[in-house]
Amino acid sequence: MKKQSVKTLQKLITVARGDGQADLVLKNCRICDVFNQQIIGGDIAIVDGLIAGIGGRYKGKKEINCRKQYAAPGFIDGHIHIESSYLCQEEFGRLVTPLGTTSIIADPHEIVNVCGLKGLKYMVKAAAQTALHVEYMLPSCVPSTPFEDAGAVIAAKDMEEPLASDAILGLGEFMNAPGVINCDKEVLAKLHAAQDAGKIIDGHSPGLLGKGLMAYASAGIQTDHECYTLQEMQERLALGMYVMLRNGSAAENLPELIKGVTAANIRHCLLCSDDLHPKTIFDHGHINYDLKYCVQQGLDPLAALTMATINPAECYGLKDRGALTPGRRADIVILPDLTNFQPSQTWIDGRLVAEKGHYLLPEKKYSIKSVSSSVRVKKFSEAKLQLNLKNNHVNTIDLVPGQIITKKGKAKITLDEQGDFVFNPKEDVVKVAVVERHHNTGTVGLGLMRGYGLKAGAIAVTIAHDSHNIIVAGANNEDMVFAVERLVTMGGGMVAVKDQKVLADMPLPIAGLMSDKDGKWVDRHLQKIHDKAFNVLGVSREVDPIMTLCFMSLPVIPSIKLTNRGLFDVDKFAFMPLT
């Protein structure tokens, strides 16, 4: 709960019982009661940023007539990586608060994989510059597996101090599910550190079912945002876990999982984004869009609101928000209706922070100096991309349109005299490489990817979940080398090239992950890269040219991925040969 003085407490009680004057009263509201699933008519009295009373009539130093609009608790995103928006969090907050989002549960494992705990410190400092409540989890898997090289390694002993901090809600998504199930010593030490600190542990266990899931849940892991099927959802709910109905730019599981929400299980269902691009925000919105979709699918508006307010608040122990009741923060969204969920006003801590789609507060940004200059690659050459195969029957990474999962494939390819891959425009297979970019180790993992559609040139990014090395896909070695060298020169970002010329690029100076520019600038540059990728390089319109690459190196998402150490079989949790 928000700390309050005795003076504030006395004033709060006095106003609540109807004897005092509130600082602010929002009058004539239709108040959304998420506990009883009903609408209450009346006022909302606010004292020192806290709700003193609801319903009935109150008097305030300042009174605003809401004209019978709906007053809902501020929306809470149950799980998100701000870094995946390519925006600094000050800008992210500026974009989502006008959409009714007042709190987010953020897992900064992207920047911590690059910069270590100084990345977490930067995020906490920068979060203080926005009205948005940014609640942080401590990344649990840095790196996500022992089969790749990240910018940092966070061991169990390193977690004790941050877990003891009030600034950290709990331990972030535990991606090393095999390590949990097989009782890996270091994994158990991390879990115990969180439990010893009395902190919640987030899950990440795609496809895990039966006794494997039972073992995973027995470790005290309480949430999962990686459900793709109703069976996965139902098994987790049966074990008392919170299931997050993810609807982001990278993965859209809400349309399938909403079918499994019932009156019996809804209190353990949350809404979350996980990864969210500026374009998604501009075109659709944030949690408000998810609420609109849920209602369109037949869910009662108040039931939908429950998944975006009190459920995540209770899940993460945020007793000071999630509902419009006395003593909680005055995080309030004013809505003309409960169908479109387009706010007319957003209040955070009793302060009007957004109105009619506009952020109202001055924009401040924290220095990025501590998390810049994060690309360290020297003497990269075409020789690093040579395959030297003796067999032209190869294993391929087969893309699944609209998903971040992949399938294991096989293809017959053309080789040159040295055994290197020769691109054939009649085949939908391209070379892909992951280049270590943190410690200049020189390691490069090579593979072949099918379904990307690229016909010429190359695309490269310094965003490669979760270790965030450079990942590049191309039709020829020359363009791939040129693209990698361009990223090194820029200090991180994304680039599309052809014939060793830059078609479009976007620098990302914050750890090679985020821009220090505004959302419109990022969106314009990202759309230009997309345009060149589709219209010049021939990338399939069934895939996202950038987001697809970003997830091709994540060795905890089935079924086959590529790290800087080589081709990885996620199902067997082991490396596999290219041929």
Q: At 306, is the pLDDT very low, low, confident or very high (cuts 50, 70, 90)?
A: very high
CA distances from 291 to 262, 297, 301, 439, 546 (A): 16, 10, 8, 44, 27
The strand ranges marked E within 265-349 are 269-272, 332-335, 345-348
- Measured between its terminal Cα atoms, the distance across the chain in Å is 57
**pLDDT on residue 68:** 98
* Residues 244, 352: Cα–Cα separation, whole Å: 29
Residues of the chain with pLDDT > 90: what percent? 94
Distance of CA 339 to the CA centre of its chain: 26
- Residues 424, 425, 429, 435, CA torsion sign: positive
The strand ranges marked E within 451-531 are 458-461, 470-474, 493-498, 501-507
* pLDDT at 281 > cutoff 80: yes
- Mean pLDDT for the stretch of residues 195-212: 96
* pLDDT at 377 > cutoff 80: yes
Helix axes 117-127, 156-163, angle to 10 degrees: 20
**pLDDT on residue 249:** 85
- Mean pLDDT for the stretch of residues 154-180: 95
* pLDDT at 2 > cutoff 80: no
**Shortest CA distance to 238 belongs to which of 213, 274, 202?**
213
* pLDDT at 13 > cutoff 80: yes
Tokens representing residue 283 in the block: 């075109």
* Residues 239, 213: Cα–Cα separation, whole Å: 9
Helix (H) or strand (E) holding 39: strand 38-47
Distance of CA 242 to the CA centre of its chain: 17
**pLDDT on residue 1:** 56
* pLDDT at 138 > cutoff 80: yes
Domains identified in the chain and CATH numbers: 72-352 (3.20.20.140), 372-575 (no CATH)
Dmax (CA) of the chain: 90
- Mean pLDDT for the stretch of residues 119-140: 97
Burial class, 423, CB count within 10 angstroms (exposed 0-12 / middle 13-18 / buried 19+): middle
**Shortest CA distance to 349 belongs to which of 136, 127, 102, 130?**
102
* Residues 538, 101: Cα–Cα separation, whole Å: 37
> Is the preceding peptide bond at 466 cis, omega within 30 degrees of 0?
yes
Tokens representing residue 347 in the block: 């209040």
**Shortest CA distance to 148 belongs to which of 175, 123, 121, 122?**
175
**Shortest CA distance to 513 belongs to which of 449, 575, 437?**
437
* Residues 553, 564: Cα–Cα separation, whole Å: 8
- List the strands of the sheet with 75-80, edge to edge: 75-80, 101-106, 133-138, 168-174, 200-203
* Residues 21, 19: Cα–Cα separation, whole Å: 7
Q: Which long-range contacts (CB under 8 A, 24 or more apart) does 489-492 make?
A: 490/375, 491/372, 491/373, 491/374, 491/375, 492/374, 492/375, 492/462
**pLDDT on residue 109:** 94
Asked if 96 and 85 count as a contact pair (C-beta separation under 8 A), the reply is no
* Residues 131, 378: Cα–Cα separation, whole Å: 41
* pLDDT at 3 > cutoff 80: no
Residues 212-261 pLDDT 10s: 999 999 999 999 999 999 999 999 999 999 999 999 987 899 999 999 99
Count of C-beta atoms within a 10 Å radius of residue 146: 15
* pLDDT at 402 > cutoff 80: no
Tokens representing residue 503 in the block: 């078609």
Distance of CA 219 to the CA centre of its chain: 24
Residue 240, helix vs strand vs coil: coil
DSSP state of 362: P
- Mean pLDDT for the stretch of residues 282-308: 98
Q: Share the mean pLDDT of the chain.
A: 96
* pLDDT at 5 > cutoff 90: no
CA distances from 454 to 328, 411, 477, 549 (A): 52, 17, 14, 12
Residues 447-468 pLDDT 10s: 999 999 999 999 999 999 989 9
pTM above 0.85, yes or no: yes
Amino acid at 573: F
Tokens representing residue 331 in the block: 């995080």
**pLDDT on residue 485:** 97
Amino acid at 447: G
The alpha-carbon radius of gyration of the chain (Å, integer) is: 24
